[in-house]
Amino acid sequence: MKLLRAASVLILALLLVALVESDTNGQPKAKPKPKPGEPLVHDPADLPRIGDPLSIRTPVQRPGPLKGVRSWTIETKRHRWYPTMLALSQDGQHIATGGYDGIIRIWNVETGEFERALVGHDSYVYGLAWSPDGNYLASAGSHNATARVWDAKTGMPVRVFKGHKGYVSHVAWSPDGTKLLAAGGSSGFVTLWDVVASKQLQTVEYGNPIYSISFAKSGDHIATSAAKAGTYIADAVSLKTIHALKETLDDATAVAFSPDSKLLAAGSSKQTLVYDVESGVVKNKLTSPGYALAWTPKGGLLVAPQNGAVVPHAPEGLAAGKALAVSASSIALSSDGTNLFALLSGKITHFNMEKNSTVKTIEVGEAQWLSWGVNRPMLSGLNTTKSPTLWDPATGKLLATLTGHTSTVTNVAWAATGKTLVTGAADKTANVWEVPSGKLLRPLGEHTGPVTAVAMSFDGKIATGSTDKKVRVWPVMGDQPTQTLTDHRNTVTALAWSRDNRTLASGGNDRDVIIWNADTGKVIKSFDHPSEVQSLAFSPDGTRIAVGSADDRLRIYQVVTGKELAVLERPGSPPNVSAVAWSSDGLFVLGGRGNHTLQYWNTKTNKDVLNIGTMAPVTSVAFSTDNRTLIAASYDRSVRFWDVATGRVKMTIIADKEQMLAIGADGNYRCPNEAESDLIAVVQTEKGQETVSLKDFATKFGFRNSPGLVK
């Protein structure tokens, strides 16, 4: 009996130890926090659980089990959509970039080659900062309201700072690397974190969104610029304001302390002011707008207007010099002042300051609009090129290049058969193309302004709208319009045909929706719309029309009377409903928005059944033929497919490096063999987050790809 009792006590003790060593989620207990100077260790609770995605933004949302792996995904080397921020490591060997796709990428300065991806944020990455010793990288995770600290060598997220008062858009290290500033939110909060202890120390709010933050190298002060609220110098410990600098209240401000911490440059969309930190007095007024700023080691100042040429200012007197042959939205300067790195759109320019010349250009991202339709080729290049391309979505192979426009192609419409399409462009023309050959069949060139909308009826007639306020109707064959419709008072932005092939709807920036008899050119019905029209679609039976607006509302009207039948409102920024489509039974409407969401809307109950994050502004939407799959194309050169029953993503098609890649939610992928070298796997283990080639992914982790499952 005594032995039995002793055994029971021993078992109970072991159970208690096990409970102490695990958290409530069954995860191992977090390791003790390191002391100052020791390497930071991660909290296991910050890692994804086995089977969970690395981020809600990754193509792989249901990663299959792999030995020793918590989660993984497949990614492109380049950013999907343009990056917005870059940061240079202290040794000048690595550049980190972040942006709208929510993934941080690191590039080798010497070679310009991609090195690794850091995946974990569920929203955009607007802020990046390397620690003073170069061992860590801090990132601001925007609307998921977190800031992260990554181990630069292992890729492990060693800190995930939560509890901020809104989105996080900026991060900055203290000079000794023990503290981190995080800022953002509509209230303009600035929070100071103890990085070692993972503890929030202070928080202040400025009442307006934050545009920039900076930590003085002396460690005594921080600086903050807030939208329409000026620039502030505060104590670096208490965050109490020392100087409220109100000379500049306009937008697009940036702040940066001089190397000796005695001066503060504060840029705006109109000028750049330089303040004395001790007194708060303006020392210099520079005429160059300062969207991005960087001090040279000798006290000179580089000032970049938004997307404009960088202007150097001399150390003595900060007199403006000749603008450099490099433009930027974000800049970083090497510690010795020799090398400037300028980010603009999807490219980083490495510029040698001493030689006044470009060393190399690194392509780090791309924005690409895609157009997808059932049983049709994929169209790529809208709003980015004058020669869009057609692709086979099944093989990822290029079919044809549409050569004929002289300016950027902005809109497209397909024939019901999928054998022809029409494109509208800024060159004031619309072109009709044969598919899949890409042969130009006929140009339509009567407009006197850019063609801003096109639509094709089920029997092949074409409608075009323009900034010239006119709608033209074109026959199935021929290059002369049969009707010119002139009732609009501003740019025509959307067109739609009813299935009867006679009824045409047009909408524009004049806030009018007009229903026409396309055969006679007469107005059937015209009704005022509360906002600029962004998109139009007739119901299958032609009795209703869905109208997407610039005021975050999707409205349905009765065609005959113009009566408003229903309204779906979803706030967000930007607010526009950019694309609409009906299910084949007329019961549901799909609305895509500029605020990166997609709504599956039940028109009988006037409620959205699904509200889906699309990761980027939506450019077009569609239903599958059986209405079981929702499809949306977005700015981030992607088309995503969701299951109606579950709302879960099924597949993502990505345009990358002149290839089309299809990645299933389970991680299986389909692409041309030559495209595999531009894909990578990001793998989260207990020891770190690795970036490996697909070949090494298979060899090291046992992944086996099944392309046939991607559908």
Written as one string, the DSSP assignment of 209-224 is -EEEEEE-TTSSEEEE
Across the range 452-463, mean pLDDT stands at 97
User: Average pLDDT in the 362-370 region?
Assistant: 89
Percent pLDDT > 90 in the chain is: 80
What gap in Å lies between CA 451 and CA 412, rounded to an integer? 10
The answer, yes or no, to whether residue 15 has pLDDT greater than 60, is no
User: Distance between CA 437 and CA 198 in Å, rounded?
Assistant: 60
Please list, in sequence order, all residues whose beta carbon lies within 8 angstroms of the beta carbon of residue 111, skipping any fewer than 6 positions away.
none
C-alpha span between 333 and 313 (Å, rounded): 14
User: What pLDDT is stored for residue 21 in this prediction?
Assistant: 36
Q: Cβ distance 403 to 390 under 8 Å?
A: no
Q: How many CB atoms lie within 10 A of CB 336?
A: 11
pLDDT of residue 307: 85
* 25: confidence class by pLDDT, cuts 50, 70, 90: very low
What does the pLDDT look like over 490-518, one tens digit per residue? 999 999 999 999 999 999 999 999 999 99
Q: Say whether the peptide bond before residue 540 is cis (omega within 30 degrees of 0).
A: no
Mean pLDDT of 92-116: 96
DSSP string, 177-203: SSEEEEEETTTTEEEEEETTTTEEEEE
Distance CA 460, CA 699 (A): 52
Give the model's pLDDT for residue 372.
84
Q: What is the predicted pLDDT for the residue at 673?
A: 81
**What is the reported pLDDT for 571?**
84
Q: In angstroms, rounded to a whole number, what is the distance separating the alpha carbons of residues 543 and 137?
A: 57
Q: What's the pLDDT at 33? A: 59
Decide if pLDDT at 59 tops 60: yes
Read off the pLDDT band of 583 (50, 70, 90).
Answer: very high
Query: For residue 393, what pLDDT is reported?
Result: 84
d(CA 283, CA 315): 13
Residue 38 pLDDT greater than 90, yes or no: no
In this predicted structure, what is the pLDDT of residue 36? 61
The per-residue pLDDT for range 589-599, each reduced to its tens digit, is 999 999 899 99
Residue 93 is given by DSSP the state S
What pLDDT does residue 20 have? 35
Q: Is the pLDDT of residue 658 over 90?
A: no
Phi and psi, residue 305, nearest 5°: -65, 165
Confidence of residue 5 (pLDDT cuts 50, 70, 90): very low
Does the structure show a pLDDT above 50 at 541?
yes
How many CB atoms neighbour CB 4 within 10 A? 8
Q: Please, are residues 271 and 285 in contact by the beta-carbon 8 Å criterion?
A: yes
What is the per-residue pLDDT for 2? Answer: 39
Say which DSSP state 708 is in.
Answer: G
Here the tokens at position 436 are 């899949």
Mean pLDDT of the chain: 91
Contacts for 649 with CB less than 8 Å, ≥ 6 apart: 59, 61, 640, 641, 642, 643, 665
Mean pLDDT of 677-682: 93
Q: Which residue is associated with the tokens 């107005």?
A: 523
Residue 19: per-residue pLDDT: 34
Predicted pLDDT at 289: 93
Instruction: Please give the average per-residue pLDDT across 312-335, as a whole number.
Output: 95
Three-class DSSP category at 495: strand
Reply yes or no on whether the pLDDT at 520 is more than 50.
yes
The whole-number pLDDT of residue 13 equals: 40
Evaluate if residue 475 carries a pLDDT over 70. yes
Helix segments in 250-402, DSSP class H: none
Walk across the sheet containing 168-173 and list its strands: 168-173, 179-184, 189-194, 199-205
Q: Band the pLDDT of 252: cuts 50, 70, 90.
A: low
pLDDT at 129: 98
Residue 7 pLDDT greater than 50, yes or no? no
E strands, 396-475, are 398-401, 409-414, 420-425, 430-434, 440-444, 451-456, 462-466, 471-474
23: confidence class by pLDDT, cuts 50, 70, 90 = very low
Higher pLDDT, 349 or 248: 349
Q: What is the CA radius of gyration of the chain?
A: 28
Q: What is the pLDDT of residue 9?
A: 36
Instruction: Express as a percent the part of the chain with pLDDT over 70.
Output: 95
**Cα distances (angstroms) measured from residue 224 to each of 23, 247, 279, 552, 654:** 38, 14, 16, 32, 38
Closest residue by Cα to residue 407 from 430, 385, 432: 385
